[in-house]
């Protein structure tokens, strides 16, 4: 496995004093002074500010010990694409279920480290663990991973890394306490996520690949387990639209948080888990990085399903280890890149003949507007700010409707410009102010 050596300087310069009190807002939240802070404080450089994001509390606290923020070290990379370039931008994803006694204080610890690093993304922390997706120069992104792994609670986290040719893949850093690490309509706060026996059994990418081959060829084999096996995609339906494993049906849900497979006794063709033998049927589920499967498998376990398996590390881990075998199309990701081909995770990996055949036969990746084949496997947002629908669209319809999802949106009052490739929409006031300036310029 290739590795990246990050040689940090002997000491990172840290100011003797730092205060957020001069700022009226931080990441959109009003700051207020508070005299309350956890009594158990981390060992940090003196005169640093602790900000508890999500409770609007912060306090400048004195520390007498001197230390470097991140010591000189070599940080191994788990991804073969990473080059020896500190300025290479990467996207890092990881999650970890572990008991955190004081999550608000944990947020303050992470903020202390991150304020010295060029990192954008979403990092959520609560009593059940952490869920993170962020981007930054490899030097900074991996330094944060190294700092986290130095904590014995997080030494075994599985980190997913992919390159970002567009620089930061997130607009800003959002670090906060969040009651649910994953959004789900029924709530996940009371789920026993910390008990690994309640979650699905993780299969390595190699084991998953073997099971997929067995499922595809097995209906006339003697393996009873494989004859009674269901392959379940627990992602959003629009994720399936640009890529999925062979033989998996499209999830009949707009988004994961409203998934209800196996939760109702009502007989419906849309639920593959209705009327199955909960004792004997093997359910293999997958998602992008694994956390949704862990959450949903815990719900199914409580409903009496016995044989639950998940793809360890999700599709991103599979594509890195096994390449695109049994995978069709691209992988949807929740950042500005939106869509990644398998070669992103395993350089040089060629698209399989089955994947090419599926695309040629128009089996998926259809235009939301006209139903024709979409050759660019990447979603876009409707140019109508008040719609903002995420959808697939062919080039002809993009041009005809000026980036909108329908003719009604084309005539909406707040239209943004047509975007192509990896551009990202900006805040509406920037377009509005631009139009005002153009009008003034015209009058003059």
Distance CA(112)–CA(103), nearest Å, equals 14
List the one residue out of 105, 141, 149 whose CA is nearest residue 125.
Answer: 105
3-state secondary structure the chain: CCCCCCCCCCCCCCCCCCCCCCCCEECCEECEECCCCCCCCCCCCCCEEEEECCCCEEEEECCCCCCCCCCCCCCCCCCCCCCCCCCCEEEEEEEEECCCCCHHHHHHHHHHHHCCCCCEEEEEEECCEEEEEEEEEHHHHHHHHHHHHCCHHHCCCCCEEEECCCCCCCCCEEEEECCCCCCCCCCCCCCCCCCHHHCCEEECHHHHHHHHHHHHHHHHCCCHHHHCEEEEECCCHHHHCCEEECCCCCCCCCCHHHCCCCCCCCCCCCCCCCCCCCCCCEEEEECCCCHHHHHHHHHHHHCCCCEEEEECCHHHHHHHHHCCCCEEECEECCCCCCEECHHHCCCCCCCCHHHHHHHHCCCCCECCCCCCECCCCCCEECCECCCCCEECCCHHHHHHCCCCCCHHHHCCCCECCCCCCCCCCCCHHHHHHHHHHHHHHHHC
Which entry of 67, 229, 255, 287 is annotated as an active-site residue? 287
Which is it for the CA torsion 268, 272, 274, 275, positive or negative?
Answer: positive
Give CA angle at 145 (143, 150), nearest 5°: 95
User: Token pair of 274, please?
Assistant: 């209705």
Instruction: Output the CA–CA distances (angstroms, integers) from residue 236 to 54, 232, 239, 288, in the order listed.
Output: 28, 12, 5, 10
- Check if 406 is active-site: no
Distance CA(190)–CA(427), nearest Å, equals 37
Distance of CA 232 to the CA centre of its chain: 19
Positions annotated as catalytic residues are: 287
């Amino acid at each position: 496995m290739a590795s990246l050596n990050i040689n940090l300087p002997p000491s990172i310069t840290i100011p003797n004093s730092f205060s957020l009190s001069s700022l009226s807002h931080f990441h959109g939240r009003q700051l207020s002074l508070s005299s309350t802070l956890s009594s158990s404080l981390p060992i940090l450089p003196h005169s640093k500010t602790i900000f508890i994001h999500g409770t609007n509390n912060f306090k400048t606290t004195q520390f007498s010990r001197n230390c470097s923020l991140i010591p000189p070290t070599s940080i191994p990379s788990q991804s073969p694409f990473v080059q020896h370039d500190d300025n290479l931008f990467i996207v890092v994803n990881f999650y970890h279920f572990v008991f955190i006694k004081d999550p608000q204080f944990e947020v303050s610890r992470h903020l202390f480290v991150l304020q010295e690093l060029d990192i954008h993304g979403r990092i959520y922390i609560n009593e059940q663990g952490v869920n993170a997706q962020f981007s930054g120069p490899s030097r900074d992104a991996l330094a944060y991973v190294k700092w986290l792994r130095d904590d014995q609670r997080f030494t075994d986290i599985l980190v997913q890394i992919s390159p970002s040719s567009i620089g930061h893949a997130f607009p800003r850093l959002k670090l906060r306490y969040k009651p649910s690490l994953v959004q789900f309509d029924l709530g996940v706060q009371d789920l026993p996520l910390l008990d690994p026996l309640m979650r699905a059994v993780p299969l390595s990418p190699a084991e998953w690949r073997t099971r997929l081959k067995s499922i595809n060829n097995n209906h006339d084999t003697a393996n009873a387990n494989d004859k009674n096996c269901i392959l379940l995609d627990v992602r959003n339906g629009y994720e399936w639209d640009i890529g999925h494993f062979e033989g998996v049906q499209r999830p009949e849900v707009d988004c994961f948080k409203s998934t209800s497979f196996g939760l109702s006794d009502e007989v419906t063709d849309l639920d593959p888990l209705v009327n199955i033998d909960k004792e004997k049927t093997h359910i293999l589920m997958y998602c992008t990085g694994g956390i949704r499967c862990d959450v949903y498998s815990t719900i199914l376990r409580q409903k009496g399903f016995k044989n639950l398996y998940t793809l360890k590390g999700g599709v991103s881990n599979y594509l890195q280890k096994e390449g695109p075998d049994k995978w069709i199309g691209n992988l949807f990701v929740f950042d500005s890149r939106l869509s990644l081909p398998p070669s992103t995770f395993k350089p040089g990996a060629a698209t399989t003949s089955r994947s090419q055949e599926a695309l040629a036969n128009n089996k998926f990746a259809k235009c939301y507007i006209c139903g024709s084949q979409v050759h660019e496997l990447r979603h876009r947002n409707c140019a109508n700010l008040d719609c903002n629908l995420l959808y697939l669209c062919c080039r002809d319809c993009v041009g005809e409707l000026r980036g909108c999802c329908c003719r009604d949106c084309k005539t909406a009052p707040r239209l943004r410009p047509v975007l192509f490739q990896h551009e990202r929409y900006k805040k509406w006031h920037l377009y509005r102010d631009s139009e005002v300036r153009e009008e003034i310029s015209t009058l003059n």
